[in-house]
Structure 1
Amino acid sequence: MAESTALDSLMEMGFTKNRAERALAHTGNQGIERAMDWIMEHESDPDIDEPYVPPAGHVLGSDPTQLTLTPPTDPSAVPAAEGSQEEHSKRPLTEEEKQEQMKRLEELMRLKQQEREEREKQEEVERERERRRHGQELLQVKQRLQEEEMKKLAEERKREKIEEKQARQRVRDKIERDKAERAMKVKLQHTLLTLLWRVLTHSFVRY
């Protein structure tokens, strides 16, 4: 059985090769979990599905947990424990181990997806809260403008009433002045006629 790699595991989980290669490269090939996090955070990137060309000397898909150890030049310098560890690291995964690993990765991906959905839900709640707050602010501004407009109209009506009252008072004052002037003229005419009558009467009596 061929040795399982991080690239193979990601592709078996349903990620495209381009996304898997790009995620492993950008996370420094530090494991499937880091690669999954990177894919979920950058899935909206415009170049996420473009083929990734790795730098020279960089091998995509190598899983750090399954890298083989290069034996030292002197075999006698290798302790027995390291020799057994090297043999274990070279041993390919059994089908059961592979399935178990896939289950863990799928569960991890499910949890990451759930965390992302919760985060997006919370962000949506915050956006809705901000939208309502903005709407309330606009409503308050609108109400203030309406109140100011009503106040302005009320002051305009009050000023018009005052001006109308003053105009009526001016008319009444003019009427009163005209009446007084007419009365004065009538009185003056009466006085003149009285004087004229006395003068004429006195002259007639003498003759």
Structure 2
Amino acid sequence: MAGVSLQCGDCGALLRSVQEAQEHADLTSHSNFSESTEAVLNLVCSTCGKPCRSKTESDLHTKRTGHSEFVDKTSETAKPISLEVPKVDAMSNEDATATTDQPDEMVVPEVDKKVLEELESMGFPTARATRALHYSGNAGLEAAVNWVVEHENDPDIDQMPLVPANTKVEAPKPSLTPEQLKAKQQELRERARKKKEEEEKRMEREREKERIRIGKELLEAKRIEEENERKRLLALRKAEKEEERRAREKIRLKLEEDKAERRRRLGLPPEEPSAPKPSNVVEEKKSSLPVRPATKAEQMRECLRSLKQNHKDDDARVKRAFQTLLTYVGNVAKSPDEEKFRRIRLSNQTFQERVGALKGGIDFLEICGFEKVEGGEFLFLARDKVDKAVLNSAGSELDSAIKNPFFGVL
């Protein structure tokens, strides 16, 4: 079967004639061509009549215009290819011989100035627009834009094309009508706008993913920090309980030693560990005795012990509360006639921080004789209810609670 096309061995492109092969070689520097029985594809758009020479070109046309119906006229246009090199006249041969003796001067090719201005107004650089017009054969705005789209990843896309100075330039093909040009410009601007919006949306999605990732990392770091803090507090409480247990054991051993020392001084034999303790007898005797009401001092001691137990995790605050209560009681005991020492505003911030906010602080003052007056706004100790004995007992209990390190432990 006779060949109907020439195929470039470097890129695989199919060409209709020797002249097209020469133009292809000039543009790409490819030189390996062979005769092929595969015809150059000729797909004609049913909507606008644009011919497409490859499936890729028809796909790009569909993507840009939305036209999807094509008529295959390959068989109609296919014809045996002539391998004869086009003849040139003698003058051309002489010119060619003359030019081979000296290097040709390279210049920027002539392109359609009007279309070039239109491309520049659409935002294309001058070099890119000139390159697109030159390599698309000055076929018009659409062909130039199509060439840019197909070759936008070329490394030399923004280099100004150069051709020999004596190269014959074909007359530019007619451009689009003003209405078509306006519609094409609007279409290209709309396409550029949509592409920019899509890029912005993609970047926003990437930024949102990054924000979510950073948020998750921060939450995980916070969770780990809280978990470590919880473990630290548990270890601290465990150490405090162990220290409390050792303190109780130490006190118990000390009591047993004191008891053994007293028995030794009295000349009594050491207590047998296995000897039964008359605890039941004592309990029976106690149960037969009338219950004695707790004294003021015992009530104060129990109140202070309860205050320390309720706030055992903050020893410094408990000690400050004891010292504040001692100051209140001491001022009244020293100057019972001074009403300012016998009246305490419950809403006072200092009082609340030191005493009022601690469970048991106000109860202790009420045991000392203070009463809530004026709708619970003040604690007041009337002059005729000042009992120095009670105040002295309160001072003794507070002093013991402050100085005794084991107060409230047992």
- TM interval, shorter chain, is 0.5 to 0.7
Match of 2:195 in 1: 115
1:137 to 217, 222, 229: 217
Give TM-score scaled by structure 2 length.
0.30
Match of 1:164 in 2: 244
| Letter matched to residue 8 of structure 1 | E
Supply the distance in 1 between the matched residues of 2:162 and 2:147 (Cα, whole angstroms).
22
CA contact (8 A) 1:11 1:20 kept: yes
Within a 5 Å distance, the mapping from 1:67-86 to structure 2 comes to 68=170
CA displacement 1:82-120 (0-9 Å, x = unmatched): xxxxxxx65544xx6243134223302311321221221
Supply the distance in 2 between the matched residues of 1:8 and 1:167 (Cα, whole angstroms).
96
Within a 5 Å distance, the mapping from 1:5-154 to structure 2 comes to 6-13=115-122, 15=123, 19-24=124-129, 31-33=144-146, 35=148, 54=160, 56-57=162-163, 68=170, 90=172, 92-93=174-175, 97-154=177-234
Give the secondary structure class of the aligned counterpart of 1:187: coil
Q: 1:166 deviation in Å?
A: 1.0
Give the secondary structure class of the aligned counterpart of 2:160: coil
Supply the distance in 2 between the matched residues of 1:58 and 1:163 (Cα, whole angstroms).
99
Residue identity over aligned pairs, in percent, reads 31
Q: 1:171 deviation in Å?
A: 1.6
Distance 1:38 1:184, change over 3 A: farther
Supply the distance in 2 between the matched residues of 1:90 and 1:22 (Cα, whole angstroms).
18
Distance 1:163 1:56, change over 3 A: same
Distance 1:146 1:37, change over 3 A: farther
CA contact (8 A) 2:130 2:160 kept: yes
Larger RCO: 1 or 2 (CA < 8 Å, sep 6+): 1
Supply the distance in 2 between the matched residues of 1:58 and 1:20 (Cα, whole angstroms).
23
Supply the distance in 1 between the matched residues of 2:266 and 2:116 (Cα, whole angstroms).
123
Q: 1:58 deviation in Å?
A: 8.4
Supply the distance in 1 between the matched residues of 2:159 and 2:128 (Cα, whole angstroms).
12
Supply the distance in 1 between the matched residues of 2:229 and 2:130 (Cα, whole angstroms).
64
CA displacement 1:140-178 (0-9 Å, x = unmatched): 211221121122112112211211221121121111112
Q: 1:183 deviation in Å?
A: 0.3
| Letter matched to residue 122 of structure 1 | R
Supply the distance in 2 between the matched residues of 1:123 and 1:155 (Cα, whole angstroms).
48
- Choose between structure 1 and 2: higher helix proportion: 1
CA contact (8 A) 1:25 1:54 kept: yes
CA displacement 1:21-70 (0-9 Å, x = unmatched): 1433687855224547999x9xxxxxxxxxx88365489xxxxxxx72xx
Distance 1:35 1:20, change over 3 A: farther
| Letter matched to residue 20 of structure 1 | P
Give TM-score scaled by structure 1 length.
0.54
Pairs aligned (count): 144
Distance 1:3 1:129, change over 3 A: closer
Which residues of structure 2 form unaligned runs of 5+?
1-110, 137-143, 270-410
